[in-house]
Structures are given as structure tokens and as C-alpha cells.
Structure 1
Amino acid sequence: MSALPLEAFRDSYRELIAFVARRTGSRQSAQDIVHDAWLRVVEAGPAAQTSHPAPRAYLYTVAEHLVVDHLRRAARTSERFDSAFHDNTVGMHAMGQDVAEACLQREALAAVDAAIAALPERCRSMFLADRLDGESQMAIAAAHGVSVKTVERDIMRAMDAIEAALHEWRGDAAVQSMPRKGRRRALSALLGVAGLGASGSLAWRLYQSQVATWQIQLGTATGRQLTQPLPDGGSIALDAQTRLDVRYYGTRRYVQMHHGAAFFSVARNADAPFIVDAGPARITVLGTRFEVALDAQGGVRVAVEEGRVRVQNRGRDGDTADASDGWELTASQTLDWQLGQTPRRDSNPDEVAAWRNGWLDFRHEPLGLAVQRLARYGQVPMQVAPDAEHLTIFGRVRIADARSWLQLLPRSLPVVVREEGQGAARRITIARRKAQS
């Protein structure tokens, strides 16, 4: 029998995954659907496989039908089980709640509002500036003429009062003996039971700022890349060996980068800034395209493809410094920030996040950092000896040809490249070449 449709599946696999992922918004679902499409083609038998004049079109048609079925099932499931809110004015009946439950939710909101109103004026002002306006504790302390410790104490006092009010509303036993550790997360969980309706309420505004409405943890393995669609139409492309957390709140979109590199395509939303915390930096945008890359030493590099990006020092405990501090980057600009050093802003004529297209660009980059980036794609560990890690390199490397690049490296730098060990102990070492005596 002819195997043309199956050959088309093999040759078009990656494109088909991308095609289905754009329709479903999930790469995992796309892989499942494409595999189901392959099974359908196999089960159709030789007659169907050989009779279709355009095997590729036939395969895409089968996948398209499966996508439609998948979306219909998802819609029916959503209608039965969806409990997520959609905007500030969502009604209780839209959430599938009865009148009694709606009254209970409003009572909880009233309890939180009353607790906030009963706070001393300074304490209330500091708490709202911290939780609603996102001001740093350093800036709050300066505005009130007090120490940062005083600000921390007053914010904790306000959180205690709100937590006690919600526990009292729920009828819980006394909570004075509960540990303070994790209080911020506990407050978010308690607000979660009181976060529906009453758009003018302070409790509702706290809910929007504290409780995530959508979140996901993303990670990639060695040599693997991933593109994740976002619920607002944006996307994040992850380089190999990258890990980050994404959380959407009513008033902000937040990403915590742990390691690796990512390219962000951010849908514009002036009411919900997009914030990325990476190393010493906090990057804030409204809608743009940019890359953030962390190195093994905790340094960070920000490169802008289009739009404007604001970079600030995260400061102590993750709080940003005063809003007047920081750096604004525009298209084709970069900021390199190594721990303990002054950030360096520069123009960037190269392609932003070239790894998306299989390349790495090195512009006077220390050899140690360059090899760390290459190591994300190879199964054999690589290391640079201390005497060679500060040598600088300039050029462009195709990721697929990294091994050839390493072999040619001694022609441009005074180094030797050695491959040592076998099996799991195998590794590549780059050391400075000793001068001939």
C-alpha cells in the first residue's frame, strides 16, 4: 500500500503541532490531537490513504476535525465546571451561586472592608500603598518619615486584622497562636473566599491584587525549547534549560524567572502591567516584545525587539527602588547587569533572542558565559577553567554546529579544548593554552 499520508505526517509533524497549538492554545493538547490524527489515518486503511490526491491536505483536514471536537468538548466542560471570574462586574448568578451564597460573599467583603476602615490612619495608608499601589517599603517609609521596620510592622498589623476578621466571619476558632510564617499566602487564600462582586470595595481590589486568576509553571530540558500561549493573546518562548512561573492577577501579570532565557510577546493592557522578576532586576512593560536571559552567576540581560521596557533594581526582599530610578529601554537596546556591577546599557544591532532561530550571538562576551549558554543544548557537560573564563569572544554560532565551533575555538583564542572521561563521566574542558618555553 502507499504510505504517502504517513510520510506526510513524518515530514509535517512539527508544522502540524504548531498549527494545532495555535487553535487550541496548548502544546500538550496539540501533541495529543496530532497523534490521534495519525491513528485515524492508519485506521482508515489503504483505500483512504491511497485515494486522496493531496496527502498533506488530507492529514491537516483530519487534524482540523479533531481540533473542532476538542474545542467543543472543552466548551461543554467549561459551561459545567468553570468557576473563574471574567471581570469586575461579574454577577453572582453568572457564577452559578444561589442567593444565600451571594449574601455570604458580600458579608465577607464587608468584614474585610470594616477591618481596613478600623485600622489607624497611618497603618491603613501604608498597607494600601504596599498592597494596592505596589509601592516599595523604602518609598513608603520615606513618605511617612519612618523606618522600613516600622512600615513592615504596620503592614503586618493590617494583615493580622484582616485575617482575624475573615476567620471570625468564617466562624473559625481563635487564631492567635497561628504562626506568622507564610502569612502573605494565607491572606491570599482567605481573600479567595471573598473575592467576587462589589467592584468598589477595598476587599475586591485586594482580591484583584493578591489572588491569581491564572497561573502556570513552565520548564524546558537540555536542548529543548517551548512556546507557551498566554490567555490574553501574548506568548512566552522558552530557551533550553529555562524555568519560570507565570501568574495573572486582576491588576498585573507577573513572571518569576528562575534560570535560563525567555522571549516575551506581551499583549498591551494599560490596566495590568506585565512584570518580570529576574536576578537583581524587575522589568515592567505594558505591551511589547523583549528577551530576558539569566546567567549562572545571577546576572541578567534584557534585550528589546520593539516597544518600551522599564528596568529597575528589585532591592531588598524583592521591592523595587523608587520609581524615578531605573533604566528605560527602547527597540534595539540592551541592558547587561552583573551582580555587584553597574548595569550597562547598549545598542543591539543583532537579532533579539536569536536562539529561536537556531543561533547564538556573542558580542565581546566572556568565554565562561558563552560556554554556559552553549551547554544548554548539549548532553555532554562543558566547563571553562578559571584562567580562560574571562577571555572574550565575538561572533555568531549555529547551535547545531556547536561541536565544530568548539573544535575551531583554539584558532581564535589561546585555549585548548579537551574531551575527557567516558559515559556519564564524559565532559568537555576548555583551558588556557600554556605559552611555549
Structure 2
Amino acid sequence: MSALPLEAFRDSYRELIAFVARRTGSRQSAQDIVHDAWLRVVEAGPMAQSQHPAPRAYLYTVAEHLVIDHLRRAARTSERFDSALHDGSAGVQALGQDVAEASLRREALVAVDAAIAALPERCRSMFLADRLDGESQAAIAAAHGVSVKTVEREIMRAMDAIEAALHEWRGDGVVQALPRKGRRRALSALLGVAGLGASGSLAWRLYQSQVVTWQIQLGTATGRQLNQALPDGSSIALDAQTRLDVRYYGSRRYVQMHHGAAFFKVARNADAPFIVDAGPARITVLGTRFEVALDDQGGLRVAVEEGRVRVQQRGSEGDLADAGDGWELTGSQTLDWQQGQSPRRDTSAGEVAAWRNGWLDFRHEPLGLAVQRLARYCQVPMQVAPDAEHLTIFGRVRIADARAWLQLLPRSVPVVVREEGQGAARRITIARRKAQS
């Protein structure tokens, strides 16, 4: 039951913001209240959640109570300011409460810093390398001459110590041990409550790296494209049949790309790099314009229109592999990385992400991959026979004329194009043309 409210929060986030904003008259206050509502639900635990079988209604109920508290506080604050015009004591009292609250938050961060400092040196080093520096556990194990299992144990030991320190600060008493995933969620929730202010502390850095401040899931259907603005002034253009997740943290902007192609316009922020994980690679930028495309065989293409992009290899667990500095790309450079092959960097004079303007560019591209790209815009399934997959094609195709281009394809490469079946069984097959005997 404990996972349901988190999913309800994600699915209802925008509606909940709008609901609270109508009550408070402030979108910023609405965002703060909605995030606080989520934290309250997480802290309440499965026992309280089980009393509310409808997670969405439970979230709205918690948010409604917080709105009432917010409006009451606002009214009291207004009264204090009115009286402060004649008597400064109320203003001093309100200021004292704000100072006390900030002091408590700083105490929580001091508790986390102390817990990290008290860890054995090896445990502390492994934990910070994993959670703050983003090193793979395999690389950490190699650096310390131990097994990956040992690294995992030391990291969990550190997380246990930090969680215990925060529970002790809150006065929670004895807390039952949680499974690994549950422990990570609890640690994030505790940091979410305590991690405000004291921006120079190690605890604040940990909060910045672990707690999501904004997120969205994006996807497009066959023949559909999408432009999505991001809260920092960046934007993403999604090609047809593309799916990705976007999550913003205090110290980084992160995209997990699952399928398709996307063009990123990234607003520069030196304090929060923009990271895209796609297939075998991690792409990191500060501010630039570039395309990332994945094909059905796990191949990757990165094309830079403007700025600088760093591409690094990811390990099997999703962390960075120990593979040096990777590859740096600048404007008009591309990196093609097909499964089982070494990455190939090149300079391209073609338009980056031409699909944004209704075109597809094929530059000495295998027919199988070219048809995969065409299939994103065609409601009729297409397949290429194995004997024709590796035929190379070159040219520029208007997406709106893709079916006509297919019919003319036999004039330029030795293939036959057949449309077979009817209704749901209808499909287009491209096979190599047999030589005349």
C-alpha cells in the first residue's frame, strides 16, 4: 500500500497544484504545500495510508488540511503586521519563530554532517564517491581493492548511520529497520523535511543530489511530435514514438531516455549540469543544443548543433564505467555508437534533428535503420527482410511523402516493396530483389 500514494502524487501533481493555487492565490505557495503534503503521506507510513483506500483522495485531504493551516498562518501574520504598526513586539515574536525554525533545520544538517564524519574513513569515502560523485560501484571497488559486495555493504552502513542520526534528532526513538529500497525512500523523506538552509554543509549537498524537485514523464505516439518547455528555460522536442523521463534535483537536471529521438535546448546552469542517460551512454552538458537518438537494436546517435557535449560509457548498473574521459563533441559533430561496435565520431554538414522541420536525412545509412525511422510516422507496420537490412541508402525524405518514397525505393536499391494483408494484419515488407536468371 505504501507505494500507491507516491504514484498518486505523480499522476495528480498538476491537478493538485492547480487545486491548491486556487485556494491560496499563489502558485509558489501551492507547490510548497503540495510537496509538504507528499512528505506528510510518506512519513505517515502504511498504517495511516491503509485507512484511506483511495490514495488520490488521501492526498487531496492532506493538502486541504495544509491549505487551511496556511491560510490561518497568513491571517495571523497579517494581524501581527497590523499590530506591529503600533507595537513592535508581535513582529519580534514572528521573527523569533522564523529564526527558531531555521535553527532546527540547521541542527538536522549538523546531525547528518556529524554522522558522516563519524563513519570509518573507508566507509565514508565509498559512500561519498557513490552518492555525491556518481562513481560506479565497480570503480569504487577497484580503487579500494575490495569486492563490489563490500562496497554495497559499506554504502548501506553509511545510509543506516545517517537515517539513525536524523531519527534521533527528530526524537523518533527506536525505528524498525527498512529494506534497502524502503530505506532509501525514508532517507530522502527525512532529508526533504530537514534539508533546507546551511547551503555549505555536506548534508545539504546530499539533499541536493537525492531529492527530486520537479519531474515529468513524456511520450509520443506514431506520427506525433511534441515540444515540452522545462522549468529552467530549457526545452525538449520529441520525435514520434519517443519516451523519456525528466527529473530535476537541486544539483543536476536528469533525463532517462527509453526510446526514440529527442532534441534538447539546454539553458546554461554551471551549478546544475544537464545529464541524459541513453542506451550505453551518459551525455553531460551545461548549456547547448543537441540531439540524442536510440534505435531498436540499442544503437545510439548524438549530434551537436551548438556548444559542447561530453559522452561517457555507462556500466551495466547504469553508473559510469571506468572508461576514461569519454568523447567530447562540439558544433556539427556526431557520435554514432552501434551495438557491438566502437563509437565513431564524425563531422556532419547535415541539419541536426531534421525531423523537427518535416524531413529525414539518410547519409549512407543501413536500410533496416532507415525504415525503423520511417516507421515512427506510418500506421502500417513495416519490416525489412534480413537479406536487405544492410543495403546502404543516401537521400533526404519529406516525412509527409514517406509512402511515396518507399514505392520509388526499388529504383535506387535492389529491393521489392510489397504491401500485404488487410485490416490489422496489413503490413509493408521490403526484401532484396532476386537477380534475373
Classify the TM-score, shorter chain: 0.7 to 0.9
Query: Counterpart of 2:113?
Result: 113
What RMSD over aligned residues (CA atoms) do the two structures have, in Å? 13.9
How many Å apart are 1:291 and its aligned residue? Answer: 0.3
Asked if the contact 1:414/1:432 (under 8 Å) is kept, the reply is: yes
Deviates more, 1:63-72 or 1:268-277: 63-72
Confirm or deny that 1:147 pairs with 2:153. Answer: no
1:208-230: CA deviation from partner (whole Å, max 9, x where unpaired) = 01112221111111111111112
How many Å apart are 1:97 and its aligned residue? Answer: 8.2
- Post-superposition, which runs of at least 4 consecutive aligned residues in structure 1 deviate over 6 A? 1-97
Asked if the contact 2:83/2:90 (under 8 Å) is kept, the reply is: no
Cα–Cα, structure 1 residues 84 and 331, in superposed 2: closer, same or farther, change >3 Å? Answer: farther
Rounded Cα–Cα distance in structure 1 between residues aligned with 2:316 and 2:290: 25
1:21-76: CA deviation from partner (whole Å, max 9, x where unpaired) = 99999999999999999999999999999999999999999999999999999999
- The number of equivalent residue pairs is 437
How many Å apart are 1:372 and its aligned residue? Answer: 0.8
Cα–Cα, structure 1 residues 145 and 432, in superposed 2: closer, same or farther, change >3 Å? Answer: same
Asked if the contact 1:105/1:196 (under 8 Å) is kept, the reply is: yes
Rounded Cα–Cα distance in structure 1 between residues aligned with 2:166 and 2:16: 50
Cα–Cα, structure 1 residues 140 and 288, in superposed 2: closer, same or farther, change >3 Å? Answer: same
Rounded Cα–Cα distance in structure 1 between residues aligned with 2:82 and 2:236: 25
1:322-371: CA deviation from partner (whole Å, max 9, x where unpaired) = 47331111111111111221111111110000000000011111111111
Asked if the contact 1:85/1:95 (under 8 Å) is kept, the reply is: no
Deviates more, 1:337-346 or 1:88-97: 88-97
Rounded Cα–Cα distance in structure 1 between residues aligned with 2:125 and 2:257: 31
How many Å apart are 1:231 and its aligned residue? Answer: 1.7
Cα–Cα, structure 1 residues 414 and 355, in superposed 2: closer, same or farther, change >3 Å? Answer: same
Deviates more, 1:372-381 or 1:425-434: 425-434
Cα–Cα, structure 1 residues 272 and 110, in superposed 2: closer, same or farther, change >3 Å? Answer: same
Query: Counterpart of 2:218?
Result: 218
Asked if the contact 1:26/1:228 (under 8 Å) is kept, the reply is: no
Asked if the contact 1:367/1:392 (under 8 Å) is kept, the reply is: yes
Rounded Cα–Cα distance in structure 2 between residues aligned with 1:279 and 1:87: 64
How many Å apart are 1:148 and its aligned residue? Answer: 3.2
Query: Counterpart of 1:261?
Result: 261
How many Å apart are 1:149 and its aligned residue? Answer: 3.1
Rounded Cα–Cα distance in structure 1 between residues aligned with 2:25 and 2:64: 14
SS of aligned partner of 1:45: helix
Cα–Cα, structure 1 residues 368 and 75, in superposed 2: closer, same or farther, change >3 Å? Answer: farther
How many Å apart are 1:259 and its aligned residue? Answer: 0.4
How many Å apart are 1:310 and its aligned residue? Answer: 0.6
Asked if the contact 1:361/1:397 (under 8 Å) is kept, the reply is: yes
SS of aligned partner of 1:263: strand
Cα–Cα, structure 1 residues 11 and 211, in superposed 2: closer, same or farther, change >3 Å? Answer: closer
Cα–Cα, structure 1 residues 146 and 80, in superposed 2: closer, same or farther, change >3 Å? Answer: farther
Asked if the contact 1:90/1:197 (under 8 Å) is kept, the reply is: no
Asked if the contact 1:252/1:272 (under 8 Å) is kept, the reply is: yes
Query: Counterpart of 2:376?
Result: 376
Deviates more, 1:193-202 or 1:15-24: 15-24
How many Å apart are 1:105 and its aligned residue? Answer: 3.0
Deviates more, 1:129-138 or 1:427-436: 129-138
Cα–Cα, structure 1 residues 357 and 61, in superposed 2: closer, same or farther, change >3 Å? Answer: farther
SS of aligned partner of 1:318: coil
Asked if the contact 2:113/2:203 (under 8 Å) is kept, the reply is: yes
Asked if the contact 2:43/2:189 (under 8 Å) is kept, the reply is: no
Deviates more, 1:17-26 or 1:61-70: 61-70
How many Å apart are 1:317 and its aligned residue? Answer: 0.8
Query: Counterpart of 2:85?
Result: 85
Q: Which runs of 5+ in 2 are unaligned?
A: none
How many Å apart are 1:248 and its aligned residue? Answer: 1.4
How many Å apart are 1:256 and its aligned residue? Answer: 0.5
Cα–Cα, structure 1 residues 28 and 296, in superposed 2: closer, same or farther, change >3 Å? Answer: farther
Asked if the contact 1:315/1:321 (under 8 Å) is kept, the reply is: yes
Rounded Cα–Cα distance in structure 1 between residues aligned with 2:307 and 2:60: 36
Asked if the contact 1:3/1:49 (under 8 Å) is kept, the reply is: no
Cα–Cα, structure 1 residues 387 and 192, in superposed 2: closer, same or farther, change >3 Å? Answer: same
Rounded Cα–Cα distance in structure 2 between residues aligned with 1:347 and 1:99: 57
1:130-185: CA deviation from partner (whole Å, max 9, x where unpaired) = 22222333333343333333322211211122223333444557445422235444
SS of aligned partner of 1:407: helix
SS of aligned partner of 2:157: helix
1:407-434: CA deviation from partner (whole Å, max 9, x where unpaired) = 0011111111111122222111111122
Query: Counterpart of 2:423?
Result: 423
Cα–Cα, structure 1 residues 66 and 97, in superposed 2: closer, same or farther, change >3 Å? Answer: closer
Cα–Cα, structure 1 residues 358 and 51, in superposed 2: closer, same or farther, change >3 Å? Answer: farther
TM-score normalised according to structure 1 size = 0.76
SS of aligned partner of 1:199: coil
Confirm or deny that 1:301 pairs with 2:301. Answer: yes
Cα–Cα, structure 1 residues 102 and 297, in superposed 2: closer, same or farther, change >3 Å? Answer: same
Rounded Cα–Cα distance in structure 1 between residues aligned with 2:111 and 2:47: 70
Cα–Cα, structure 1 residues 73 and 297, in superposed 2: closer, same or farther, change >3 Å? Answer: farther
TM-score normalised according to structure 2 size = 0.76
Rounded Cα–Cα distance in structure 1 between residues aligned with 2:47 and 2:184: 63
Rounded Cα–Cα distance in structure 2 between residues aligned with 1:72 and 1:140: 51
